[in-house]
């Protein structure tokens, strides 16, 4: 009888030991993970600017078409619209700003200018944060309607000082 009691007592201590270790450790890991995740989401994210940048680019293109003689724009689009060709065109893969100008609607009308190829992700906005942010605007000049799509997936670069 004494032997059994001792043995049972040791078994209880073993069980207590695992409960004491596993449950607090699990809680600690879960708690730390949740706080770390929250901090990372709050402080570690980029400042979201792509929507704003797409809107500004759209506005500049719209102003350019509105204020210039239509026929003169397309041959030297960047210069006429005072947009930096090096940033937009040569560094397209890096800077990731897209422009599409159409007579009528872009889904059905005539495309008159395009920078960048991928506008399909514009229709998927909200489904994945990594897709570019787009802005679409329509306007009428001299009785002719236009639609401008602009997109941005432009992020900052962090380099060694």
User: Which residues make up the interface to another protein (CB under 8 A)?
Assistant: 6, 9-10, 13, 16-17, 20-21, 24-25, 28, 31-32, 35-36, 39-40, 43-47, 49, 52-53, 56-57, 60, 78-79, 82-88, 91, 95, 97, 154, 156-161
Decide whether 31 or 74 has the Cβ nearer to another protein: 31
Residue (of 141, 12, 9, 4) closest to 71 by Cα position: 141
Q: Which two tokens stand for residue 35?
A: 């706080």
Min separation Cβ 82 and another protein, Å: 5
Decide whether 14 or 123 has the Cβ nearer to another protein: 14
Q: Write the CB contacts of 114 (distance below 8 Å, at least 6 apart in sequence).
A: 99, 100, 101
Name the CA radius of gyration of the chain, rounded: 29
Q: How far apart are CA 55 and CA 59, in angstroms?
A: 6
Min separation Cβ 150 and another protein, Å: 11
Given a contact cutoff of 8 angstroms between Cβ atoms, the answer to whether 119 and 151 are in contact is: yes
Min separation Cβ 65 and another protein, Å: 16
Min separation Cβ 11 and another protein, Å: 11
Three-class DSSP category at 45: coil
Decide whether 87 or 112 has the Cβ nearer to another protein: 87
Residue (of 100, 92, 91) closest to 123 by Cα position: 100
Min separation Cβ 78 and another protein, Å: 7
Q: Write the CB contacts of 62 (distance below 8 Å, at least 6 apart in sequence).
A: 137, 139, 148
Decide whether 142 or 156 has the Cβ nearer to another protein: 156
Decide whether 46 or 71 has the Cβ nearer to another protein: 46
């Amino acid at each position: 009888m004494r032997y059994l009691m001792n043995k049972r007592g040791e078994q209880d201590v073993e069980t207590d030991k695992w409960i004491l270790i596993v449950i607090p450790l699990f809680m600690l890991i879960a708690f730390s993970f949740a706080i770390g995740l929250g901090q990372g989401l709050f402080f570690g994210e980029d400042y979201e600017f792509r929507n704003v940048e797409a809107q500004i680019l759209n506005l500049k293109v719209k102003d350019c078409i509105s204020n210039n003689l239509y026929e003169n724009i397309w041959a030297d689009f960047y210069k006429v619209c005072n947009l930096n060709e090096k940033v937009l065109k040569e560094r397209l893969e890096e800077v990731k700003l897209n422009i599409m100008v159409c007579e009528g609607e872009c889904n059905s009308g005539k495309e008159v200018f395009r920078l960048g190829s991928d506008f399909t992700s514009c229709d998927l906005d909200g489904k994945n944060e990594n897709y570019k942010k787009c802005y679409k605007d329509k306007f009428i000049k001299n009785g002719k309607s236009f639609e401008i799509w602009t997109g941005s997936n432009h992020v900052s670069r962090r380099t060694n000082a």
